[in-house]
Structure 1
Amino acid sequence: MSLKGAAFFFGLLAIIAGAQAEVSADQVADVVWNYFTQLSTNAKETVDQLQQSEISKQLNSLFQDNFEAVSTYAGELQKQVVPFATKLHSQLAEDSEKVKEQIQRELDQLRARITPHAEEVRRQIASTIQNLQTQLRPYAEELRTQVNQNAAEMRQRLEPLAQEMQAKLRENAGSLQASLSPYADQLQQQIEQQVAAVKGTLDPYANKLKAEADRTLEELRAGLSPFAQDVQDQLNHQLEGLSFQMKKGAEELRMKLSKGAEDLEAKLSPLAQELREKLQQDLQESLAPYVDSLSGKIDGRIEEFRQTVGPYGENFNQLLVQKVDEMRKTLEPYADGAGDHLSFLEKNVRDNLASFFNTLKQKVDQMEEKETPASPSLDSDSS
């Protein structure tokens, strides 16, 4: 391997690791999967026209949006990932039927084996659902309590600033701009600090809920295994699909919590900017009504955040319970269909892209070992 080739892979590693970009296997998978699900509802001629050009365009846009600066390595990474992801997308329609048929065969085998124990299996899954609800409930309640606490703390930090400004206005001593201008900066600073604190306290909850769900899933695996002798692989595949849906739900919860905090900041920050604009006018008749209403505006935006984000834990719990119950239905004797085979297909897409990115990293590691002058043999190779 030449030094030039090694330099390319070293640069590639830096990009994948996030030093120069934020593109990840999951982000590429999001583009591929979302595009596939969108096209699956369109007419076939539309799919034929757009399948290759549009998916490449969307992937190119992903890279352009996420790279801070255009670089040779970014372009090289793009050249490798886009064709792989495009090819992967083109296989999805065919793979969808194959996966559906595979899941159907596995379920037929699994159902045949557990049908004599159908009542025990039903009780086992019902017990799992009840345990899941019991074990997850405290975390959801803790999340709601934390959101309420965050909202109360934000009110305690932000609303006194508005009250102080009202007092300054009543004093009306000297220039309004000179006496009140520091409050606009303080308000913005407090908004940023409080939103950062909210993110820090809410982020761990997705992991907590997912860990508890994983533990329950392992209990379910142990409980069902005695009824699935000789078809353990089929049972494990179903449980892997359920685990994937739980992981996806936890990641969606994490994104919702983060977005909730970001939306709150986006709604509060304009209040500080509006205050600056009012202060520039330095007119008490326009500033006084705004300051009088500021506390109410702050409280309204914080309350909206509390009402929106507070139920996210309960919603996540309901989703997990729903997924376990859907699995129960697919295992019932004489159940129709192969269940949600698309979730298995999506898992395959994400696994393939994760493997592809890992392969790129492994190539970098191999090139690094070959280029390191640790032995005389390397000198002979490079000559």
Structure 2
Amino acid sequence: MPEKIWLEQPRMILKAVIMSLALVAGTSALPEMNDDDINISVSADEVATVVWDYLSQLNSDASGTVDQRAELTQKLKTFFQENMLVSFQDKLFPDEMEKELVPFAIDLYKCLTKDLQRKKEEIQKELEDLQGEMAPHTQEVKQKVGDNARLLQKILRPYSNMLKDVVDRMSFLNAQVIKSIKDLENGLSDNAKSLQALVSSMPNKIKENFKMNLLEFQAILIEYQHEIKKMINHPIKELNNSLAPFVQDMHKLNHQLEGLSFQLNKETLKLVANISASIQELWKLLEPAMLRGNMDELQKSLAKLNRSVEEQVEEFQLKVSPYIETFDKAMGQKVEEFGQKLGPHAGYMDDHLIFLEKDLKDKVKSSFNSLKKKIQNRKTGNVPIPNPTGAGTELGPLEQNSANLG
């Protein structure tokens, strides 16, 4: 049950995040957290999203020029720098990523967009066939899709409510500050040596408490994303079963449902990315306000820090809460839109781009994960694995892979 996983086992979750960070960094263990900032893990999904967002802005004109490769490399470097502050052998963005992943991604995009018009026609024909088969059952299809949208929202609601509870609990982020204020008041009667030791330890204690709380929230987000991904499978399967009686070619329906599942997971990733960015932003706002151990002004500084934390957390909650509140609704709308495009006279809605994005992201994720393993194997002395298929090579093998789009 999510509540047990998230709220009763924070240490296990935090351990999972640290292990995830270690894996991404290509190490077998992470001995300690970075003292200078929060460690945020970078997932293959997020890397693939950065690649897609950049390449899709080129309007199918990714020719693989030096400038394009440099721009994509810089975007990935910036993303790593902003989201993960553990290093790959003293580098935030390892050489392997620049040498293999970037050329691979551009070559793949060139390949997948090369025959885009043909793919567009194939997807359009697939939808038209499904629309024709379901036309005699329009009302039943509409009802079943609507039921499925409500089922998905019902499944997601407890998870989103728990996420809201975590956001609400962020108001206690200043608990360590309040404790330090009380400790200082109680310690004023102690001798100068013990008081100095108390004062000296306060800034680090507060800073570490903030980091641990924000890291735990990030851990919960990672768990949330994994849980939602699993939960999505149930309504997709239910929708498949309920629409199957109206369809002769199940392959076409399954293919379209793959597209729907991809869109739902994309919405989940978007929610997690937005909240993660807000966590990172909160840390950057709080860190400059940290105490510097000035004994004479410590009481005033603690009071000022307490007010600052309250204000920043309140702003954080106001920014993040709407993301969660609209998430379930957005997911239900995606299912409803899926039903609409199966209806008569639905027209065409550039669905081929969904499958282009899905295929590119799947292959970039695979390439990224292979590179992570390669880095890890090199550091642990294991035999390195081969380069990702097609990275920096001619387009032939990738053209074969692009057949999976249809």
TM-score by length of 1: 0.73
CA RMSD after TM alignment = 3.8
Match of 1:29 among 23, 26, 48: 48
Conserved in 2, the CA contact under 8 Å of 1:31 and 1:58? Answer: no
- Distance (whole Å) between structure 2 residues aligned to residue 51 and residue 96 of structure 1: 18
Conserved in 1, the CA contact under 8 Å of 2:260 and 2:335? Answer: yes
- Distance (whole Å) between structure 2 residues aligned to residue 179 and residue 271 of structure 1: 19
Structure 1 residue 239 displacement after superposition: 0.3
Match of 1:255 among 254, 270, 273: 273
- Distance (whole Å) between structure 1 residues aligned to residue 42 and residue 315 of structure 2: 32
Match of 2:254 among 210, 233, 236: 236
Letter in 1 for 2:331: L
- Distance (whole Å) between structure 1 residues aligned to residue 239 and residue 187 of structure 2: 64
CA displacement, residues 223-245 of structure 1 (integer Å, 9 cap, x when unaligned): 1111112x211111110001111
Conserved in 2, the CA contact under 8 Å of 1:147 and 1:306? Answer: yes
SS of 2:144's equivalent?
helix
- Distance (whole Å) between structure 1 residues aligned to residue 253 and residue 128 of structure 2: 11
SS of 1:193's equivalent?
helix
Match of 2:237 among 206, 210, 218: 218
SS of 1:334's equivalent?
coil
Conserved in 2, the CA contact under 8 Å of 1:253 and 1:312? Answer: yes
- Distance (whole Å) between structure 1 residues aligned to residue 283 and residue 385 of structure 2: 41
Conserved in 2, the CA contact under 8 Å of 1:203 and 1:258? Answer: no
SS of 2:292's equivalent?
helix
Match of 2:342 among 305, 317, 331: 331
Letter in 1 for 2:148: T
Q: 1:59 to 1:121 in 2, by over 3 A?
A: same
Gaps in structure 1 of 5+ consecutive residues: 1-15, 368-383
SS of 1:68's equivalent?
coil
Structure 1 residue 148 displacement after superposition: 1.4
1:306 aligns with 2:317: yes
Letter in 1 for 2:305: L
Pairs within 5 Å for 1:1-383: 19=26, 26=45, 29-40=48-59, 47=61, 52-61=65-74, 68-69=88-89, 78-149=98-169, 151-162=170-181, 164-165=183-184, 180-229=199-248, 231-272=249-290, 275-276=291-292, 279=294, 284=297, 289-354=300-365
Structure 1 residue 359 displacement after superposition: 8.3
Q: Percent same amino acid among aligned pairs?
A: 31
Structure 1 residue 83 displacement after superposition: 3.4
Q: Which residue of structure 2 lines up, in the alignment, with residue 379 of structure 1?
A: none
Q: 1:194 to 1:224 in 2, by over 3 A?
A: same
Conserved in 1, the CA contact under 8 Å of 2:54 and 2:72? Answer: no
- Distance (whole Å) between structure 2 residues aligned to residue 359 and residue 199 of structure 1: 24
CA displacement, residues 11-41 of structure 1 (integer Å, 9 cap, x when unaligned): xxxxx98527x9986566334422232222x
Conserved in 2, the CA contact under 8 Å of 1:158 and 1:190? Answer: no
- Distance (whole Å) between structure 2 residues aligned to residue 148 and residue 157 of structure 1: 17
Q: 1:301 to 1:159 in 2, by over 3 A?
A: farther
Q: 1:314 to 1:218 in 2, by over 3 A?
A: farther
Conserved in 2, the CA contact under 8 Å of 1:241 and 1:344? Answer: yes
Letter in 1 for 2:26: A
The structure carrying a bigger helix percent of its residues is 1
Q: Larger Rg: 1 or 2? A: 1
Structure 1 residue 153 displacement after superposition: 3.5
- Distance (whole Å) between structure 1 residues aligned to residue 216 and residue 370 of structure 2: 37
CA displacement, residues 190-224 of structure 1 (integer Å, 9 cap, x when unaligned): 21222223333343222222322221111111111
